[in-house]
Amino acid sequence: MTTLNENRQEILFIYDASYCNPNGDPADENKPRFDSESQVNLVSDVRLKRTVRDYLREIKNLEIFVHAPPDEMGNVPDAKERARQFTSEMTDPELTKENLGELDTIILKRCIDRLFGATIPVELKGKKNDSIVHTGPVQFKIGQSLHKVAIERIKGTGAFASKSEAS
């Protein structure tokens, strides 16, 4: 008999970032996430998953759900529209509560980022909203730098002439 923890594995995910802001905090003027007590840089789980997703899509050419290619007009679809992009493969592409499982199966088979889990919002026939929810087997917690870092604030400068003839 196997126990839940027998099949559990942990991985160490390392990536290199130098002279940059690996994960700015939008709630704090996009400043680096930093723990002043331990002096390490912090990277959110969302950023780590985005790094993995980008690798899987751009390098391995795998289909990911959390990537919405722009349409012909350059508009990026929302999550509901991204889910609708998979309905063309369904027996009946009109989404109802009864055939939601078929859409779920298609997305799980096609998209590798199912590993992280997902909440997929859908709009059912009759304008009712629902969602498909999965907890994936791969979970990240907040990452941190291996070494202490020093945050350097570098002020940008520009040197432009005031007139086209000026030097």
Those residues with Cβ within 8 angstroms of residue 101's Cβ, 6 or more apart along the chain or in another chain? none
pTM recorded for the entire structure: 0.73
84-101: b (≥16 Cβ within 10 Å) or e:
bebbeeeeeeebeeebbe
Beta strands in the chain (DSSP E): 24-25, 31-32, 34-35, 40-43, 117-124, 128-135, 143-144
Query: Is 158 inside a domain boundary?
Result: no
Query: Is 149 inside a domain boundary?
Result: no
pLDDT in tens, 66-105: 887 788 898 888 888 889 899 999 998 888 888 899 999 9
- The answer on pLDDT for 146 being more than 70 is yes
What is the pLDDT at residue 158? 67
* Rounded Cα gap, residues 14 and 132, in angstroms: 31
Residue type, 10: E
Query: Is 162 inside a domain boundary?
Result: no
What is the pLDDT at residue 63? 93
What is the pLDDT at residue 45? 92
**How many CB atoms are located within 10 Å of the residue 124 CB?**
15
- The answer on pLDDT for 1 being more than 80 is no
pLDDT in tens, 110-145: 999 889 988 899 988 777 788 999 888 888 889 998
Query: Is 68 inside a domain boundary?
Result: yes
What is the pLDDT at residue 57? 93
Compute φ and ψ for 113, nearest 5 degrees.
-75, 5
Query: Is 167 inside a domain boundary?
Result: no
Length of the chain: 167
Query: Is 151 inside a domain boundary?
Result: no
Helix and strand totals (H; E) in the chain = 3, 7
Query: Is 165 inside a domain boundary?
Result: no
- The answer on pLDDT for 152 being more than 80 is no
Range of the domain at 29: 4-144
- Residue-averaged pLDDT of the chain: 85
- The answer on pLDDT for 156 being more than 90 is no
CA distances in angstroms from 50 to 8, 85, 95, 161, listed in the order given: 23, 21, 28, 41
Domains in the chain, number: 1
* pLDDT (average), residues 15-34: 86
* pLDDT (average), residues 156-161: 67
Query: Is 31 inside a domain boundary?
Result: yes
